[in-house]
């Protein structure tokens, strides 16, 4: 379709060219030649156009050429007439000229016209050319598009070709496969045909067999049908018989039912007979028991005797217990007495021994009689008194001595005070001595210096004396010497005044004293050192106390001491608890163990044995009582219950319900029947036997009889 479209468009474009250039051979096919031809056609078109234009020019030029010769001709004609023109001729010539001129103008106008036409045509042609060029361009574009498409198409074609080739290959392969399959299938078909043939043959055989069978079966069917008919007839016969049988069966059932009822009756009768036998047996046993009654009574008597003896024994036991209790109380009362006795004995023994000792002591002192002992004792006491007096004296003396000691101490203190004073004095004196010594030293030094000075002066004097001594100076010197000697003398006097020996003595005494004082001072220094140490210690203590007040004491809350404390308190509590418990148990134990444990044990054992006895007795009693009751019930036909104090309820063996009972009360006079619901129904019997015969046993046996007859009647019925 696209190709056709393109082709039509192409043809439409091409047509005008074809019209223009008919010379070009018509081209039907699209090929590269066409493009080449286009250029040719363009060329030819252009040529055409040029030809056309040149043609016109040629035509115009030819026309000019046509006219020009004419002119030339005229010119030739003008030049040729050589004879003078006649007026007419001139006139004609003039007319011709004018005409010619007119024609020329005409022709010129025509030429102009032609020129304008030509120009128009040129314009037209140019326009057409532009349009054609545009068209050409468009065509070229279209052509390029077409080429692209063509290439695309070619590619597609190539692809399609490849695909085609592939498809062909595949086709060939498939064909080969299919051929193979075909071969196989054909083989299979052949096999199948063979099989089919075989099958058909076998089927035919089977069919024949089946037909045979069918025939046989049909025959058998026919036979069986005949048999069926026979059987039907028999069935009809049998049904009739069955009906007869059912009737017979109903009859049989009836008879069997009757039989059952009869057997039931028989069984009842047998049961009655058995019960009768039982009764007989019971009667026999009752008789036997009645015979045994005497033995039983004996036994009862024996048991009663036993019981009595047991009661007696119990009473005895109680008595014994009381006695034991009494004896125990007595023993309890007697125990302290015994203890006292023991103590007294012990005391006695000790006293005797002490007495013996006393006696022995007395003997040792050579005293046999108590009197002599007393005398000796008196003498001893007197001696003691004397001794005490002496001791008191001694004590008074001691007091005196202590007082003396105190006074001595006081004196000593005084002396020490004096000593201190003396010490101060000594110190003063020592200082004085010291000063004096110093002064002495000073004085001796002064003296020495003066001596030196003197020596010097003497030397000078000798020198001056030896040299050129002046009379005046010598006089001066001598005066000085004199003075100095005087001073010396003065000093000597002063020294003499200080008595040497006395002074030395005094010094010695003072020295002795000072040494003494020194010793004392040393001892005191020691004391002081001791006291200082004590003071320091006390200061330290004081400081510690002060520090304690300044500091606060901290410790960890859960320290080992606190924990140990806690533990010990806990232990203490536990121990106290245990103690309490033990005390409690002890108290209980005292209560228990106050009585003699062996006796208690014995009593307990007795109690246990008596309990066991009692239990056994009770068991025996209950069993015998039960037996007795049963026997009474069996023999007399009445069950007697004691409902309260002196109230008895009796119910008959043959009573219809437990509601039917009579009650009696025991009076001082005898026994009386109490009114009950049941007794009110027995008006006749009450009237007859109680009011008339006044006999309760009779009434009861009559009631028994009546009830027995009633129940037996019922049973019989």
Partner 1 sequence: MSQQQTKNCITLRGSAQIICEYLKFAINSVLFQRGLYPPETFKAEQQYGITLLISEDAEIKSFLTNLLTQSEEWIVNKKVSKLSLVILNVANKEVLECWDFNVQYEDGDVALSKEKNETVGSKDLKKIQQEIRDVMLQVAATISYLPFLDCRCSFDVLVHAKTDCDVPEMWAEAKPISIANAQNVQLKNFSTSLHKMETVVSYKLAD
Q: Provide the 10 A C-beta neighbour count for residue 286.
A: 13
Q: How far is the CB of 569 from partner 1 (least distance, A)?
A: 10
534 binds partner 1 (CB under 8 A): no
Q: Which of 300, 561, 582, 584 binds partner 1 (CB under 8 A)?
A: 561
Least spacing, CB of residue 531 vs partner 1, in Å: 19
Q: Which of residues 447-476 bind partner 1 (CB under 8 A)?
A: none
Backbone angles phi, psi at 650, to 5 degrees: -120, 140
Can you tell me which of 553, 590, 713, 716 binds partner 1, judged by CB under 8 A? 553
**Min separation Cβ 542 and partner 1, Å:** 14
Closest to partner 1 by CB, 29 vs 552, is 552
CB of 685 within 8 A of CB of 691?
no
For the bound state, the minimum distance from the C-beta of residue 567 to partner 1, rounded and expressed in Å, comes to 8
**How does DSSP classify residue 675?**
P
Quick check: 559 binds partner 1 (CB under 8 A)?
yes
The stretch near partner 1 (CB under 8 A) out of 227-235, 398-406, 552-560, 582-590 is: 552-560
Q: In this complex, which beta carbon is closest to partner 1, that of residue 83 or of residue 553? A: 553
**Residue 89 or residue 563: which is nearer to partner 1 going by CB?**
563
Beta strands in 104-254 (DSSP E): none
Token match 């060029």: residue?
A: 133
- CA atoms of 518 and 430, how far apart (whole Å): 12
Q: Which is nearer to partner 1, 556 or 716 (by Cβ)?
A: 556
Least distance from partner 1 to the Cβ atom of residue 528, Å: 22
**576 binding partner 1? (CB under 8 A):** no
If DSSP states are collapsed to H, E and C, what string results for 628-641?
HHHHHHHHHCEEEE
User: What is the DSSP code string of 28-96?
Assistant: -S-SHHHHHHHHHHHHHHHHHHHHHHHHHHHHHHHHHHHHHHHHHHHHHHHHS--SPPPHHHHHHHHHH
Quote the least distance from Cβ 555 to partner 1, whole Å. 4
Residues 98 to 137 in contact with partner 1, rule: CB under 8 A: none
Is residue 548 a contact residue for partner 1 (CB under 8 A)?
yes
Q: Pick between residue 294 and residue 547 the one whose CB is nearest to partner 1.
A: 547
Residue whose CB is less far from partner 1, 112 or 548: 548
Minimum separation from the CB atom of position 530 to partner 1 (A): 17
Q: Counting contacts by CB under 8 A, is residue 575 touching partner 1?
A: no
Tell me which residue has tokens 């045979």.
212
Stretch that binds partner 1, among 368-376, 461-469, 495-503, 547-555 (CB under 8 A): 547-555
Which stretch, 86-94, 488-496, 518-526, 548-556, contacts partner 1 (CB under 8 A)? 548-556
Q: 463: buried, middle or exposed (CB in 10 Å: 19+, 13-18, 0-12)?
A: exposed
Q: Is 547 in the site for partner 1 (CB under 8 A)?
A: yes
552 near partner 1, rule: CB under 8 A: yes
565 binds partner 1 (CB under 8 A): yes
Residue of 148, 563, 659, 684 interacting with partner 1 (CB under 8 A): 563
- Three-state DSSP class for 673? strand
DSSP 585: H
Which one among 26, 560, 644, 670 touches partner 1, defined by CB under 8 A? 560
The residue among 568 and 574 lying less far from partner 1, judged by its C-beta, is 568
Backbone angles phi, psi at 372, to 5 degrees: -55, -35
| Residue 664, beta-bridge partner list | 648, 673
Element (H, E) at 670: none
**What strands lie across the sheet with 647-652, from one edge to the other?**
638-644, 647-652, 662-666, 671-674
Instruction: Provide, rounded to whole angstroms, the least separation between the CB of residue 579 and partner 1.
Output: 17
The one segment of 63-71, 563-571, 577-585, 670-678 that binds partner 1 by CB under 8 A: 563-571
Question: What does the alpha-carbon distance between residue 127 and residue 49 come to, in Å, rounded to a whole number?
Answer: 13
Q: What is the closest distance, in whole angstroms, from the C-beta atom of residue 539 to partner 1 in the complex?
A: 14
Residue 2 or 557: the one with the smaller Cβ distance to partner 1 is: 557
CB 557 to partner 1: min, Å: 5
Note whether 637 and 653 are within 8 A (CB): yes
Query: What is the sign, positive or negative, of the torsion defined by CA atoms of 378, 384, 387, 392?
Result: negative
CB of 560 to partner 1, least distance (A): 5
When asked if residue 657 is in the footprint of partner 1 (CB under 8 A), the reply is no
Per CB under 8 A, the list member of 1, 364, 556, 716 interacting with partner 1 is: 556
Using CB under 8 A as the binding rule, whether residue 568 contacts partner 1 is answered as yes
What are the residues whose beta carbons fall under 8 Å from the beta carbon of 703, sequence distance 6 or more? 652, 682, 685
Among 381, 564, 592, 640, binds partner 1 (CB under 8 A): 564
CA dist 81 → 75, 86, 87, 100, 356 (Å): 10, 12, 14, 18, 247
Under the binding rule (CB under 8 A), the answer on residue 574 touching partner 1 is no
Which tokens belong to 434? 């010291």
CA dist 547 and 534 (Å) reads 19
Task: Using the minimum distance from each CB to partner 1, give the nearer residue, 29 or 555.
Answer: 555
Please, what is the minimum distance in Å from the beta carbon of residue 548 to partner 1? 5
Residue 71 neighbours by CB under 8 Å, 6+ apart: none
Compute the distance between CA of residue 430 and CA of residue 422 in angstroms, rounded to an integer: 12
Whether the CB-CB separation of 379 and 365 falls below 8 Å is answered with no
Separation CA 540–CA 546 (nearest Å):
9
Residue number, 448 or 563, with CB nearest to partner 1? 563
| Residue with smaller CB distance to partner 1, 496 or 556 | 556
Two structure tokens written together for 70 = 């004419």
Are the CB atoms for 649 and 641 separated by under 8 Å?
yes
Structure tokens at 584: 């409690």
CB of 582 to partner 1, least distance (A): 22
Total residues in contact with partner 1, by rule CB under 8 A: 19
Q: Do the Cβ atoms of 67 and 43 come closer than 8 Å?
A: no
Least distance (Å) between residue 544 CB and partner 1:
9
How many CB atoms lie under 10 A from the CB of residue 426? 17
- Which of 31, 558, 591, 717 binds partner 1 (CB under 8 A)? It is 558
Between 197 and 561, CB nearer to partner 1: 561
Asked if residues 509 and 422 have their Cβ atoms less than 8 Å apart, the reply is no
Q: Which stretch binds partner 1 (CB under 8 A): 336-344, 561-569, 577-585, 679-687?
A: 561-569
Give the interface with partner 1 as residue ranges (CB under 8 A): 547-548, 550-565, 568
């Amino acid at each position: 379709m696209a190709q056709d479209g393109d082709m039509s468009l192409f043809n439409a474009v091409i047509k005008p060219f074809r019209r223009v250039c008919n010379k070009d051979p018509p081209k039907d096919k699209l090929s590269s030649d066409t493009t080449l031809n286009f250029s040719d056609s363009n060329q030819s078109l252009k040529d055409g156009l040029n030809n056309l234009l040149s043609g016109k020019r040629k035509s115009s030029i030819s026309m000019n050429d046509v006219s020009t010769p004419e002119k030339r001709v005229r010119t030739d004609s003008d030049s040729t007439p050589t004879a003078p023109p006649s007026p007419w001729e001139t006139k004609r010539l003039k007319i011709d000229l004018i005409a010619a001129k007119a024609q020329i103008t005409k022709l010129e106008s025509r030429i102009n016209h032609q020129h304008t036409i030509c120009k128009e045509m040129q314009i037209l042609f140019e326009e057409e050319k532009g349009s054609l060029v545009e068209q050409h361009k468009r065509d070229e574009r279209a052509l390029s598009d077409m080429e692209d498409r063509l290439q695309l198409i070619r590619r597609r074609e190539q692809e399609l070709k490849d695909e085609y080739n592939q498809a062909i290959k595949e086709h060939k392969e498939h064909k080969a496969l299919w051929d193979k399959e075909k071969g196989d299938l054909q083989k299979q078909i052949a096999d199948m045909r063979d099989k089919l043939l075989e099958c058909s043959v076998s089927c035919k055989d089977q069919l024949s067999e089946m037909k045979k069978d069918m025939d046989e079966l049909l025959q058998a069917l026919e036979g069986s049908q005949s048999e069926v008919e026979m059987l039907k007839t028999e069935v009809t016969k049998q049904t009739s018989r069955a009906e007869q049988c059912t009737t017979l069966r109903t009859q049989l059932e009836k008879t069997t039912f009757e039989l059952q009822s009869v057997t039931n009756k028989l069984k009842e009768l047998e049961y009655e007979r058995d019960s009768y036998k039982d009764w007989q047996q019971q009667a026999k046993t009752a008789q036997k028991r009645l015979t045994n009654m005497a033995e039983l009574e004996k036994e009862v008597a024996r048991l009663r005797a036993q019981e009595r003896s047991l009661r007696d024994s119990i009473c005895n036991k109680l008595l014994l217990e009381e006695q034991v209790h009494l004896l125990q109380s007595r023993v309890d009362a007697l125990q302290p007495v015994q203890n006292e006795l023991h103590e007294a004995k012990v005391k006695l023994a000790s006293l005797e021994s002490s007495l013996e000792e006393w006696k022995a002591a007395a003997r040792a002192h050579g005293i046999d009689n108590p009197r002599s002992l007393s005398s000796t004792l008196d003498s001893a006491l007197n001696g003691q008194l004397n001794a005490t007096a002496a001791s008191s004296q001694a004590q008074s003396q001691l007091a005196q001595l202590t007082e003396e000691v105190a006074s001595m101490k006081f004196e000593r203190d005084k002396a020490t005070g004096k000593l201190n004073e003396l010490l101060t004095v000594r110190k003063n004196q020592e200082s004085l001595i010291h000063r004096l010594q110093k002064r002495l030293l000073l004085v001796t030094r002064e003296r020495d210096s003066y001596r030196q000075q003197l020596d010097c002066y003497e030397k000078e004097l000798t020198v001056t004396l030896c040299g050129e001594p002046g009379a005046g100076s010598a006089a001066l010197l001598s005066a000085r010497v004199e003075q100095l000697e005087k001073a010396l003398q003065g000093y000597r006097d002063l020294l003499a005044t200080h008595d040497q020996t006395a002074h030395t003595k005094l010094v010695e005494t003072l020295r002795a004293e000072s040494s003494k004082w020194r010793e004392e001072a040393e001892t005191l220094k020691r004391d002081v050192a001791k006291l200082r140490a004590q003071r320091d210690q006390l200061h330290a203590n004081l400081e510690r106390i002060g520090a304690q007040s300044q500091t606060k004491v901290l410790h960890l809350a859960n320290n080992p001491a606190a924990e140990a404390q806690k533990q010990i308190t806990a232990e203490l509590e536990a121990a106290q608890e245990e103690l309490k418990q033990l005390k409690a148990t002890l108290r209980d134990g005292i209560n228990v163990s106050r009585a003699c444990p062996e006796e208690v044990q014995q009593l307990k054992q007795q109690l246990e044995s008596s309990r066991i006895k009692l239990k056994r007795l009770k068991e025996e009693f209950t069993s015998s009582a039960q037996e007795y009751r049963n026997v009474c019930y069996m023999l007399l036909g009445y069950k007697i219950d004691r409902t309260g104090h002196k109230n008895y309820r009796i119910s008959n063996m043959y009573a219809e319900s437990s509601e039917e009972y009579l009650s009696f009360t025991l009076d001082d006079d005898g026994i009386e029947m109490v009114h009950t619901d049941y007794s009110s129904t027995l008006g006749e019997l009450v009237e007859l036997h109680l009011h008339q015969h006044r006999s309760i046993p009779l009434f009861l046996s009559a009631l028994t009889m009546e009830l027995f007859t009633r129940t037996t009647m019922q049973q019989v019925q």
